[in-house]
Structure 1
Amino acid sequence: MKIINIEYPLYYDSLDKENGNMDIFVKLDNGMTYTMVVTTPSNYYWYMDKEGLDYIPASPPDIIVRSLNKEIVEKAIQTYVQDNAYWLKLYFLAGESNCVFDQKQMDGMIQEMKKLKEEIFGSE
């Protein structure tokens, strides 16, 4: 798949490019637009300090870049559209926890994987 365009937030110019995060909109040649969160590693530290935590709570995955510079973001997004945009789709869908990743379906998939593993390696 190919990227048609990436839309950045209106406040992009005022962002701290070394310590920030932003939503971007990635339009692909299949007509779909994916909303993604791009963040810097420093932003994770800032968040943990702000919240008094030693970890980042469970949440949908972010695309992590050294800087929110558009050139760097676009390089990162290029890697997410390889292989028919597998990783872009996965990250996008992970944000829709009540839709695609249904708990019962995930539990069923895990049981199938466990069963297959036991058939191959024997039970533990």
Structure 2
Amino acid sequence: MNVVKISYPTPLSKIIDIENDNMDIFIELEDGTNITVVVSTPLNLLQQMKNDNVNFISASQPDIIVRSLTHENIQQAIENYANGDAFWLKLLYVASIEKNVVDMSRINQFLKELNMLNNELLE
């Protein structure tokens, strides 16, 4: 799916350390969908773990990770996430707002089926 527009509520020029920060990004897709995502750098994730005094990133809406907060890097990542029908962009966005949009009973059923297939392979 084509990305029509990427907007920055905080201008990129205001980012002090483009290799250690995160920011919200607004995305408009060709089907009219508007999505908000967080784009982070690897150093910023490490900084968050240090600040929280943990050795992991807690489960939450996954950020889109880029090496540095430049328009080129962000655009490449967003376009990659929008490939096909923009499944990952749309899923991450709606699940971040309301996790019940994902049918856990269907996921659990599918996992059972996969488990049975794996067990058959091991026998």
| TM-score normalised per structure 2 | 0.84
Is the Cα contact below 8 Å between 2:12 and 2:70 reproduced in 1? no
Aligned partner letter, 1:101 = V
Shift of 1:111: 1.2
In the TM superposition, residue 104 of structure 1 has moved relative to its aligned partner by 2.9
Three-state SS of the structure 2 residue aligned to 1:83 is coil
CA contact (8 A) 1:41 1:65 kept: yes
2:99 aligns to what SS in structure 1? Answer: coil
Identity %, equivalent residues: 39
Amino acid at match of 2:70: N
Q: CA deviation at 1:46?
A: 0.7
The count of corresponding residues between Structure 1 and Structure 2 is 122
Which has the larger displacement, 67-76 or 86-95?
A: 86-95
| Structure 1 range deviating more: 30-39 or 95-104 | 95-104
Q: 1:5-45, CA deviations, whole angstroms, 9 ceiling, x for partnerless residues?
A: 01111354322311111111110110101111100000011
Structure-1 separation of matches of 2:55 and 2:111: 29
1:87 aligns with 88
Cα distance, 1:61 vs structure 2: 1.4
Paired residue for 1:37? 38
CA contact under 8 A between 1:65 and 1:73: conserved in structure 2? yes
The answer to whether the aligner puts 1:18 opposite 2:16 as a matched pair is no
Amino acid of the residue matched to residue 28 of structure 1? L
- Once residues 84 and 70 of structure 1 are traced to their aligned partners in structure 2, the CA distance between those partners, rounded to angstroms, is 22
TM (norm. structure 1) is 0.83
Q: CA deviation at 1:97?
A: 5.2
Mapping of 1:30-69 within 5 angstroms?
30-69=31-70
**Mind listing any 5+ residue stretches in structure 2 that lack a counterpart?**
none
Kindly indicate whether the alpha-carbon contact (under 8 Å) linking 2:10 and 2:23 is maintained by their aligned counterparts in 1: no
Gaps of 5+ in 1: none
- CA-based RMSD: 2.0
Match of 2:2 in 1: 2
Q: Which amino acid aligns with 2:56?
A: Y
